[in-house]
Chain A
Amino acid sequence: AQKITQTQPGMFVQEKEAVTLDCTYDTSDPSYGLFWYKQPSSGEMIFLIYQGSYDQQNATEGRYSLNFQKARKSANLVISASQLGDSAMYFCAMREAGTYKYIFGTGTRLKVLA
């Protein structure tokens, strides 16, 4: 069965520092997609970054980058130069093979300290 694991329930980071949020996944399908979403206290799900299983390079979107280690089945999110507005819940998700369904991890709550 496919599974997403986020082992860090909460993280603190100093403003302007970089932070890595961990995500590991389990699937036997060679074709899959990995996503990171940010959920602030308002509840909306904000798309951050996407990595396809066949992508050769790590995805980057502005201050966000995805450290994709395929052999280790990890897809860690790196946020550089943290800002106070980055304080939120972060979810890792995987698109289920053969469908458009997502499997979500349990999330990591990030708090950026001034």
Chain B
Amino acid sequence: GAVVSQHPSWVICKSGTSVKIECRSLDFQATTMFWYRQFPKQSLMLMATSNEGSKATYEQGVEKDKFLINHASLTLSTLTVTSAHPEDSSFYICSANWRDSYEQYFGPGTRLTVT
């Protein structure tokens, strides 16, 4: 149980375009979803926390207008990278948990390359 999926697993897009990444909890209702960014050989950096039906809470230094997060249902959160640039190329990982769960369940990640 507690499976989280991400789609796509990898994506290449041109500079200036937008790309959407989906995060789904497959067998549980996720009250909270998290979005992380990971550069090569570095740790995970939390970008934002989203709760179903409310606006995402962004970490300091993360541009909310560039990284749009929508948590429309208890099983789906989306991250849209708007006007992507090569420096946005990274590995994006989502995770989810349910109320009172001490553990976050991670998706397999999405590798974004902006050319």
- Chain A interface residue number, banded: 20 to 34
Residues A100 and B106 in contact, CB atoms below 8 Å apart: no
Chain B residues closer than 8 Å to A99, beta-carbon distance = 49
What is the CA–CA distance of A73 and B105 in the complex, to the nearest angstrom? 25
How many residues on chain B are close to A (CB under 8 Å)?
21
What is the CA–CA distance of A52 and B102 in the complex, to the nearest angstrom? 9
Contacts of A84-114 to chain B: CB distance below 8 A: 91, 95, 99-102, 104-107
Residues A100 and B97 in contact, CB atoms below 8 Å apart: yes
Chain B residues closer than 8 Å to A52, beta-carbon distance = 102
Q: Contacts A101-B34, A101-B49 known; A95 to B111 CB distance under 8 Å?
A: no
Residues B46 and A102 in contact, CB atoms below 8 Å apart: yes
B60 on the A face (CB < 8 A):
no
* Complex interface bits, B93-105 against A, C-beta within 8 A gives 1, otherwise 0: 1010100011111
